[in-house]
Amino acid sequence: MQGVAVLGSTGSIGKSALSVLRRHRDRFEVVALTAGYEHYWSSRWSSNVVVSPAWVVSELGDPAIANDKLDYIAANLRHWFLDQRAWAGVEYLHGTRELRSGVHGSANRIQFAVQFNILD
């Protein structure tokens, strides 16, 4: 069985890929995917939420340090300015990691970012 990562599983291409994978469950296994959602609260405020679980299907590597399962989630709030050419925002990120040995941990981060789009 072949492991497949589906990036952007909530978009049209990702949904089509998942449909094909469902029809061929005997040949393919989804081992990682990302799912995201973007919402505009108004013309100046928007948010994104992204979730990404992953499972390692390979038995290669030292169990003491080899990944077994990874999870990630991010959520942000952005304020658009300069006619939608720039934004400033804050983002919260949370991730967990579990090794094949059973050792696990998690991390949390809050970050601030500013982006300016030079080209239209």
Domain definitions of the chain by residue range: 1-33, 35-120
Structure tokens at 43: 């013309």
Amino acid (one-letter) located at 42: S
DSSP 59: -
Q: Is it true that domain 35-120 has CATH number 3.90.1150.210?
A: yes
Highest mean pLDDT: which of 75-79, 80-84, 97-101?
75-79
Query: Beta strand pairing status for 2-6 and 28-33?
Result: parallel
pLDDT in tens, 24-70: 989 988 888 888 999 999 989 999 999 988 877 666 667 677 778 88
Residues 6+ apart with CB under 8 A from 101: 63, 64
Beta bridge partners of 46: 40, 78
pLDDT at 45: 95
Average pLDDT over residues 80-92: 91
Residue 120 pLDDT class (50, 70, 90 cuts): low
